[in-house]
Amino acid sequence: MKCLGIDPGLRITGYGCIRGTGPELVEAGVLRLKTELGGERIPIADRLLELHQDISGLLERLTPDVVGVEAVFSHYKHPATAIAMGHARGVILLAVRAAGVRLVELKPNEIKKFLTGNGHASKEQMQGAVQSRLRLAERPEPPDVADAIAIAMCVGSRGGDRAEPIFAAPSRRSAQR
């Protein structure tokens, strides 16, 4: 089974794809969305369109069996962050559903606890845990990549059994499988 983990953001969205329970790292990286062009701020709607196109391309290329996405979290000191994250998550959830792929949403502390045993692990601890579990030569950078890989590993460890059923009509991709 291939699991794709996505750590949503409007500037940087991390992704990591694993295969099997070993697990084997298939691919990981970040999608960097342009925030300015020629000194002009790019409207959020245009950035969301770019994110949708990038996620749709990843889904088509990597053909995951299940996608894990970090659930929205908010901190009372940074409510705007939760709103921005919500925009990115909405686009990602739409792309996953449109592709006909199973979806799992996980809380950040659930992912951290799975990987490190501590639901409040730091970014550095998460990077170190991913590096250790996958026997990587270096820590995944930026931290968004480690978070995305951790999401994929958490979903993969459960065999995707918490994946929600798809109620929409089958997409072109699921019909080709």
pLDDT in tens, 23-37: 999 999 999 999 999
Confirm whether 7 is a catalytic residue. Answer: yes
Question: Which tops the pLDDT comparison, 74 or 69?
Answer: 69
Catalytic residue among 7, 54, 105, 147: 7
pLDDT of residue 4: 98
- Percent residues over pLDDT 70 in the chain: 86
* Mean pLDDT of all residues in 115-144: 94
Residue 127 phi, psi dihedral angles, 5° rounding:
-60, -45
Specify the pTM. Answer: 0.86
Q: Which residue in the list 54, 70, 105, 147 is annotated as catalytic?
A: 70
Active-site position among 65, 105, 141, 144: 144
Identify whether 138 is a catalytic site residue. no
Domain spans, the chain? 2-172
Task: Specify the CATH class of 2-172 in words.
Answer: alpha beta
pLDDT band at 75 (very low <50, low <70, confident <90, very high): low
The answer to whether 70 is a known catalytic residue is: yes
| 4 backbone dihedrals φ, ψ, rounded to 5° | -110, 125
